[in-house]
Amino acid sequence: MPTALITALSLLAQPQPPPDPAQFPLVAHRSMEIDDLDREIQRLHDTVLLKRGQLGSTQRLARRGLVSRSDLERGLAALHHEEAREAEARAYRALKEYERDVLGRVVPLDESKAYDLLLDWLKTQEAIARLEVDDRGVTLKQVRSQYRRLAVSRQQLDDAELAYNSALAKAALNQSRQTRVRMELAARKGEKPSDPAEYERLKAEHLKARVRYFEIVAEGARNRLTIALERSRRGLIPIPEVAIFQKAADDAEAALAAERKKLENPGAS
């Protein structure tokens, strides 16, 4: 979705024709989306208030020694997660509202504002992604400890490792998207002249972020292949199914190699 939004904002930056009644369906659709977002934001806000109340009760019990530290940490993590989701929904609503108003010719396009709104939304997604990385990391640490004590199965450990890898990939993808938006913004300064050096710096940063994302994806694909080979050896999955995981790993490695070439020769991309 961020890629589509970036393209849409770029198109909106072009000279606009007079108001066209044919735009009404798009404007109406944005309004419907905003109405849905308003209801979701209210639900999320109510959940945040509930989690705050629950955390307050847990903190009072903790001071009396009636709940464990882990219970307190879980309550705090749950609150932070809901707060981040509410912030993300509000940022997305602001972007959609501005998009609707520009499409409906209610306001003229302010390119800087449009990019700022898009970046604000991506930053709130980053906050959610980081919380997920932390949460999956804690879970993986616990599962590894349990596995060493033979308290969980190998499959449970594999699942925890793959979940952590997916969280890392999501965070890396967000960084790649943010650097792309900043790069596009550097190339579009309105009446101000663009700074070629700054653009090239941001382009290199964007390419590095993409390489990091594809490295994580490739690592996950290799891990899935290893798991598939082991499960096939134990007779848990048919041998022909391993080829699916092999192809996924090969495709991920090829995509990573292509991104590394772009980084080595940024002028060609």
pLDDT digits (tens, 9 = 90+) for 222-254: 999 999 999 999 999 999 999 999 999 999 999
State the pLDDT at residue 49. Answer: 98
For helices 2-12 and 111-148, angle between their N-to-C axes, nearest 10 degrees: 170
DSSP run (H or E) holding 266: none
- On the question of pLDDT at 14 being above 60, the answer is no
Rounded to whole angstroms, how far apart are CA atoms 224 and 166? 12
Number of domains in the chain: 2
Q: Which of 109, 141, 158 is the last residue of a domain?
A: 109
> Residue 139's CB: how many other CB atoms inside 10 A?
15
State the pLDDT at residue 3. Answer: 56
Q: Which is higher by pLDDT, 11 or 95?
A: 95
Instruction: Please check whether residue 253 lies inside any domain of the structure.
Output: yes
Same-domain check for residues 163 and 250: yes
State the pLDDT at residue 19. Answer: 55
74, 83, 136 from 128: Cα distances, Å: 16, 9, 12
Tokens of 78: 């749950």
Q: Per-residue confidence at 198, pLDDT binned at 50, 70, 90?
A: confident
Which of these ranges, 42-56, 101-115, 211-225, 251-265, has the smallest mean pLDDT? 101-115
Rounded to whole angstroms, how far apart are CA atoms 130 and 184? 24
- On the question of pLDDT at 17 being above 80, the answer is no
- On the question of pLDDT at 136 being above 80, the answer is yes
Same-domain check for residues 57 and 168: no
Q: Per-residue confidence at 191, pLDDT binned at 50, 70, 90?
A: very low
What is the residue range of 256's domain? 132-269
Instruction: List all residues 6 or more positions away from 29 whose beta carbon is below 8 Å from its beta carbon.
Output: none
State the pLDDT at residue 243. Answer: 97
Instruction: Please check whether residue 45 lies inside any domain of the structure.
Output: yes
State the pLDDT at residue 118. Answer: 97
Rounded to whole angstroms, how far apart are CA atoms 5 and 34? 16
Same-domain check for residues 148 and 80: no
Same-domain check for residues 266 and 142: yes
Same-domain check for residues 161 and 226: yes
Please give the model's pTM, rounded to 2 decimal places.
0.84
Same-domain check for residues 190 and 65: no
Instruction: Please check whether residue 35 lies inside any domain of the structure.
Output: yes
Same-domain check for residues 149 and 237: yes
Rounded to whole angstroms, how far apart are CA atoms 254 and 249? 9
Instruction: Please check whether residue 125 lies inside any domain of the structure.
Output: no
- Tally helices (H) and strands (E) across the chain: 7, 0
Tokens of 231: 């499960």
State the pLDDT at residue 190. Answer: 53
State the pLDDT at residue 196. Answer: 83
Task: Give yes or no for a contact between 217 and 255, defined as CB atoms under 8 angstroms apart.
Answer: yes
Q: Per-residue confidence at 150, pLDDT binned at 50, 70, 90?
A: very high
Same-domain check for residues 243 and 186: yes
Same-domain check for residues 188 and 262: yes
Mean pLDDT of the chain: 90
- On the question of pLDDT at 256 being above 50, the answer is yes
What angle is formed at CA 6 by the lines to CA 21 and CA 214, rounded to 5 degrees?
150
Q: Per-residue confidence at 24, pLDDT binned at 50, 70, 90?
A: confident
Instruction: Please check whether residue 167 lies inside any domain of the structure.
Output: yes
Rounded to whole angstroms, how far apart are CA atoms 30 and 34? 6
Same-domain check for residues 80 and 139: no
- Look-up of token digits 């663009």: 194
Q: Per-residue confidence at 195, pLDDT binned at 50, 70, 90?
A: confident
Mean pLDDT on 126-144: 97
Task: Give yes or no for a contact between 208 and 263, defined as CB atoms under 8 angstroms apart.
Answer: yes
Same-domain check for residues 152 and 251: yes
